[in-house]
Amino acid sequence: MSTLPPGLRDRVLAEAAKAPPARPATFAQRAVSAALVVTLWLGVTVWAMGVRPDLRDLPPVYAFGTFAALVLAAAAMSRLGVARGRAMLGPPVWVLMVTAAALPLVISLWSYVVPAPVATSVGCSSKAEAMSYAPMCGVIALLLSTPVLGALFWLRRGMIASAPALTGACLGAAAATWAHLIHHAHCPVAHPLHVLTGHALPIVPVMIVGALIGRKVFR
């Protein structure tokens, strides 16, 4: 104790006494609130935009396999992005790096690995026609991601991260994956290139936005 500046202890304790009382369940309350907001947002947008008309005709592996995979990926990425970690600094950097790099890649590959029922695509008889809808889907994906990204950042606010930009990128990837899920439920254009460019690739700009915000708020 003798090595510490005299009076520092008293100053710290006096300042701390002025702080508002702690609410121990703050993080849990925030997590529940964020989960409710995201769920509500997903439900409202799917309801407002409508479920794809060819849902009953789709192969189960494509329709429900993709749905389940996207839910799992988005939930896992969200959980990873908001995790407090062993030392209140989030997950280890290598975990964030691997997942942030792998998620867009895996989701993009999924578009090709899982056979897309192009023939059932409503109103799209050609690749060119399918691709003509891609920019619009991309813009919608960005718009759909925004509230989810806001909810995830709100949940994690006030905490620092070991790798602020990477953590923000993970939150961006999570938000864009939730948006991809809405697209999967709504957009009937199933051409792999359309899914890749209109549904999956918007992950990248949302990740970049997340990284830029994360650099500011998690350091």
87 touching other proteins, by CB under 8 A: yes
Question: Is the distance from CB of 158 to CB of 219 less than 8 angstroms?
Answer: no
Alpha-carbon span 210 to 219, nearest angstrom: 14
94 touching other proteins, by CB under 8 A: yes
Q: What are phi and psi of 125, to 5 degrees?
A: -95, -10
One residue of 106, 129, 162, 204 binding other proteins per CB under 8 A = 162
Helix (H, G, I), strand (E, B) or coil at 10: helix
88 touching other proteins, by CB under 8 A: yes
Q: Which is nearer to other proteins, 9 or 127 (CB)?
A: 9
Q: Which is nearer to other proteins, 53 or 158 (CB)?
A: 158
One residue of 8, 48, 60, 128 binding other proteins per CB under 8 A = 8
Question: Is the distance from CB of 73 to CB of 178 less than 8 angstroms?
Answer: no
Question: Within a 10 A sphere around the Cβ of 73, how many other Cβ atoms?
Answer: 22
Q: Which is nearer to other proteins, 138 or 210 (CB)?
A: 210
Q: Which stretch binds other proteins (CB under 8 A): 3-11, 41-49, 137-145, 171-179?
A: 3-11
Element spanning 98, H or E: helix 93-113
Q: Which is nearer to other proteins, 92 or 117 (CB)?
A: 92
128 touching other proteins, by CB under 8 A: no
Torsion of the alpha carbons at 25, 28, 32 and 34, rounded to the nearest 10: 110
158 touching other proteins, by CB under 8 A: yes
